[in-house]
Amino acid sequence: LVVDETVTKRELDLPEDKFVFVALNNGYKLNDRFIRIWSTILRACPNSIIWLLATDDEVKKNVINEFATHNIDSARIFFFIRQSKSKFLGALACADLFLDSSPYNAGTTASDSLYAGCPVITLPSDIYSSRMAASIVSHAGLEELVCSTEEEYIAKSIRIYKEDDYRSFIKDKATKAKNTRLFDTFDATICLEVAYIN
C-alpha cells in the first residue's frame, strides 16, 4: 500500500493563491486540440494555473509555445518533475481539478488523482484509449465529470473554478473515491475469480 506523502504548494513551487488545473499525463498524450481546450478554460479562469508533467526541455518548450498561440502566458504554466509514488500522490492532492486528455486518456494517473482526492474531468470518444478515464471516474462515483462534448468539458471545468459550492460538492465526492469499489482490491479479486470459474 502506497500512502500519499503530505506536501504543500510551496514545496512544489506552486502559487498558493491560485486554482490549480493539473494534467500530469505523459507528454505524448498532449495534442493541439486539448491545449486549445485548456487555453479556453484558463482564459475564463484568470486566477488559475496549469500544472503539467515535465518530460524533457524540448517538450516543455513546444508546450509553452503552443499555449502562447492561444494567448496563455508562460507564467501560468508550471511543470512537475517525476518523484516517488508517495510524493506524486501528495502532489496531486495539492491540485484542484485534473484535466484529462483525449484520444489517449489518463489511466493509472486518473486513478492516482482520485486516490489523492483530486477530481478528474474527462472527454471520452469511441476508441478504447479514450474511454479509460471515463470508466475510472464513473466507478469513483463522479459520473457528472464524464463529458460528451468539448463544450460540456469546458463549461464544467469553469463551473468548478467559479462556483464554491459546486467545487466543494465535487471535491467531497473525489475525497470519498478512495473508499469506493474502484480501490477495493479484495472485491476485484473475487470478481476475477468468478470470471475465471465461469
Tens digits of residue pLDDT in 173-184: 998 877 776 666
| CA 22 – CA 176 distance, rounded (Å) | 20
- At 156, is the pLDDT very low, low, confident or very high (cuts 50, 70, 90)? very high
Give residue-wise pLDDT tens across range 74-116. 999 999 988 888 888 888 999 999 999 999 898 889 999 999 9
What is the average per-residue pLDDT within 133-151?
A: 92
- At 2, is the pLDDT very low, low, confident or very high (cuts 50, 70, 90)? low
Whether residue 191 is predicted with pLDDT greater than 80 in this model: the reply is: no
Task: Check: pTM over 0.75? Answer yes or no.
Answer: yes
Torsion-angle region of 196 (φ positive above 0: left; ψ -120 to 50: alpha; else: beta): alpha
Contacting residues for 143 by C-beta, under 8 A, at least 6 apart: 137
pLDDT at 189 (0 to 100): 76
| CA 4 – CA 7 distance, rounded (Å) | 9
Q: Where are the alpha helices (DSSP H) in 10-143?
A: 32-44, 57-68, 85-92, 108-115, 132-139
pLDDT at 3 (0 to 100): 53
Q: Which residue has the higher pLDDT, 46 or 130?
A: 46
